[in-house]
Structure 1
Amino acid sequence: MTRTATTVRTRSALALGLAALALPALAGCTDNAPAAGADDGDPRAIAVDASDSSCTLSSTQAPSGTLHFTVKNTGTKVTEFYLLASDGLRIIAEVENIGPGLARDLVLSAQPGRYITACKPGMVGNGIRADFAVADSGEPAVSADDQQLVDQATQGYAAYVKDQTEQLLSATEDFVTAYEKGDDARARGLYPTARTHYERIEPVAESFGDLDPKLDLRQADLESGQKWTGWHRIEKDLWPQRATGYRALSTSERKTYGDDLLANTKLLYQRTRTMTFTVDQIANGATGLLDEVAKSKVTGEEEYWSHTDLYDFQANIDGARVAWQDLQPVLRKKDPTLDQQIAARFSALQKLLDAQRDGKGFKLYTQLGQDDVKQLSNAVNALAEPLSKMAAAVL
């Protein structure tokens, strides 16, 4: 799915019914006056009152270190909350799918600097934004005893992202070559497996707010005047059966869209060569991948034309599992019970996914029954609950 500072995907009512998630539509900026409910004794504990028309923080500044945002949705639309870099594009951390009347926590380690907060009622548009400042507390982010484990985790995850983008670029080159040559059978076969590498690191790709929509935007989420490019534009051309009166792209148009996909993939590859990560980014990214599954994979919305959603489902689970495994030495030291719970629920979910395999791949989403979808959805929710606690545990 594509969720950036400027654009996100729509979700169906099925997501609300099965995954206790949903979504809504944007309001303009309002001033951020102090919100009620913050812990006055802890300057790093910040309450966020997110309504349909306002985004009110208990404080717009904090000392560096582990920040704990508690986001309460007091509106009528499903919302999400972002901490953005000062450029307003790069996503530092996010918490999504906060239903009306519900609250979710966002825990992260923040360095000194200028940031932007954003609530996004309806989970579309630019969000209700305000400046946020983090002052230098002078405190070390990690204890000396934990630093070696943290370094091992962050370096391992950075290597994983690098490897996945390398594989993504190679697979995309093969896919684009087949597509532009008109070898549709080969292109259809390559489509879901090439996208696997993108879906495994989706939160990383989404952190580039200018790039992710060009690569992964679905037609259902197009905003007025927005150009549709990327994987799903080509997907529709390869599987046009659901499109009434669809006109196939010409050879020259295929080349335009194929070349654009490859160029943007190369740009993603270049940007991730030297990326570094913090433990909270890795942990929150794992939670974000579970959100992706619940919102658009388990509902069959992601791959609307090809019905290859289960490949994306598995890829998101793969990415979340790697993030957890990289952090596991830290988590086992700090909260071994939580680590065991996460392990058991990953195993249960994977067992259900394996039951939907077809040879080396997966069944089409349309081949799943309602009971299959419900079981998968329940297992995703069961895993998401302990996984959402991982960031707080490892910080």
Structure 2
Amino acid sequence: MPAVRRSFAVIAGTAVLAVPALAACSSDSGGGDAVKVVASDKKCEVAKTEWAPGKNTLKVSNKGSQVTEVYVYAQGDRIVTERENIGPGTSVEITFDIKAGDYEVACKPGMKGDGIRQTVKVSGVASEKPLDPRLAKAVADYRAYVQAQVDNGLPLVEQFAAAVKAGDTAKAKDLYAKSRYGWESIEPVAESFGDLDPKMDVREADLEPNQEFTGWHRLEKTLWTTGTLTAEDGKYADQLLADYKDLQAKVGTAEITPTSIANGAKELLDEVATGKVTGEEEAFSHTDLVDFDGNVVGAKKAFELLKPVVQEKDAALATQLAAEFAKIEAELAKYKKGDGYVSYETVGEPQRKELSDAVNALAEPLSKLAAAVAQ
């Protein structure tokens, strides 16, 4: 997760565990009219700052010395599209949908901060053919899936908050990862709304100057370090529950398009690579594999909804994605324990490398999903 958590408008490893930038070998094929973006350690050069509405493609080249991220922001820093983990000396293409309006392209060297930004304007009338009925169904079904994941998670968040307020450390520990699972499965959409994400899911290591440490990870630290819950923790639990209910009320308003579903699936794999497989996400509870599972389940759901169209337009890609999802699920299954997973502390370096390899093998073809849908 980047230090500054994102909104999403949808239209501690050793050398052997290091996860390579997943975008290094990926290339969303967006055609010859891609807008070139050159990202470096100090610049974000956008070759064309006036775009047409509808489907667009960015060709991003990282000429800097650090891994970078690139975002397209609408007003209020709502994300239209993004791509994380763009390694030095590599290029990626990102296909997405966009409406008329004013936007910013942000490059984030080191994947931190607000980024180096360039303004762009989208104007005119989109020349779009009617949406394929299968894709329209995918959008409707994905919207229903997101709402159901959030709705089903609410009772668990309520129980978790109640346990914290009651000072019941054992019960709160048991509910901690379970209360996060729905969030993890739809995280790109959960990041849609203002400051909800940094309030609910920021990691201590990612705090910006003067940013208050709140949300799940603030309570995780107490539970697995001192183990003594206080009235202050009760206030943090109340705030987490209030923020979750705010998310539940707003999630149905997120803009969702076929390409945003596809790009969201790739983002979920990036979340696995930058936090879960490295063991950095759950620094105190070591429940990273539960989050890992949630991200993979959410990404697979997105693929399955889009699969009828992808199968027609790029059958080889559909076959490859199905195979790689099966492989990563098989790797995860090795660490199942009851209705959850073993502590990530018990997973050795060679096994973490195997998980990392499975993530990378899936990420490369998954990066092509949006372009296949947009054909």
After TM superposition, is the score higher than 0.5? Answer: yes
1:124 aligns with 2:120: no
> For residues 263 and 15 of structure 1, do their structure 2 counterparts lie closer, same or farther at Cα, with a shift above 3 Å needed?
farther
Q: Is the 8 A contact 2:17 2:349 kept in 1?
A: no
1:72 aligns with 2:61: yes
| Greater RCO (CA < 8 Å, at least 6 residues apart) | 2
**SS of residue paired to 1:207:** coil
The TM-score normalised by the length of structure 1 is 0.87
Alignment equivalent of 1:202, drawn from 174, 187, 200: 187
Unaligned runs of 5+ in 1: 23-40, 241-245
CA RMSD of the aligned region, Å?
2.0
> For residues 249 and 183 of structure 1, do their structure 2 counterparts lie closer, same or farther at Cα, with a shift above 3 Å needed?
closer
Quick one: distance in 1 between partners of 2:310 and 2:316? 9
Q: Is the 8 A contact 1:49 1:73 kept in 2?
A: yes
> For residues 189 and 138 of structure 1, do their structure 2 counterparts lie closer, same or farther at Cα, with a shift above 3 Å needed?
closer
Equivalent residue runs for 1:171-250 within 5 Å: 171-240=156-225, 248-250=228-230
Alignment equivalent of 2:365, drawn from 362, 366, 386: 386
Q: Is the 8 A contact 1:3 1:206 kept in 2?
A: no
Quick one: distance in 2 between partners of 1:328 and 1:4? 33
Q: Is the 8 A contact 2:182 2:294 kept in 1?
A: yes
Instruction: Quote the offset at 1:65 in angstroms.
Output: 2.4
**SS of residue paired to 1:123:** coil
> For residues 324 and 14 of structure 1, do their structure 2 counterparts lie closer, same or farther at Cα, with a shift above 3 Å needed?
farther
Quick one: distance in 2 between partners of 1:317 and 1:3? 22
Report the counterpart of residue 61 of structure 1 in structure 2. 50
Report the counterpart of residue 20 of structure 1 in structure 2. 20
**SS of residue paired to 2:308:** helix
Report the counterpart of residue 243 of structure 1 in structure 2. none
Alignment equivalent of 1:306, drawn from 285, 310, 317: 285
Report the counterpart of residue 36 of structure 1 in structure 2. none
Quick one: distance in 1 between partners of 2:227 and 2:338? 33
Quick one: distance in 2 between partners of 1:216 and 1:125? 16
Quick one: distance in 2 between partners of 1:159 and 1:181? 34
The TM-score normalised by the length of structure 2 is 0.92
Unaligned runs of 5+ in 2: 23-30
Q: Is the 8 A contact 1:287 1:387 kept in 2?
A: yes
The code of the aligned residue for 2:210 comes to G
> For residues 332 and 97 of structure 1, do their structure 2 counterparts lie closer, same or farther at Cα, with a shift above 3 Å needed?
same
- Percent identical residues: 45
Q: Which moved more, 1:325-334 or 1:337-346?
A: 325-334
Quick one: distance in 2 between partners of 1:257 and 1:86? 29
Quick one: distance in 1 between partners of 2:67 and 2:185? 25
Quick one: distance in 1 between partners of 2:85 and 2:15? 10
Give CA-to-partner distance per residue, 1:328-385, whole Å, 9 cap, x none. Answer: 1111121111001000000011001001111221010011111211111001000001
Quick one: distance in 2 between partners of 1:384 and 1:84? 23
The code of the aligned residue for 2:197 comes to D
Equivalent residue runs for 1:1-395 within 5 Å: 1=1, 4=4, 14=14, 18-21=18-21, 44-87=33-76, 89-140=77-128, 143-144=129-130, 147-240=132-225, 248-250=228-230, 252-395=231-374
Q: Is the 8 A contact 1:4 1:208 kept in 2?
A: no
> For residues 96 and 17 of structure 1, do their structure 2 counterparts lie closer, same or farther at Cα, with a shift above 3 Å needed?
same
Give CA-to-partner distance per residue, 1:276-325, whole Å, 9 cap, x none. Answer: 41011100000000001011100111000000000000000000000101
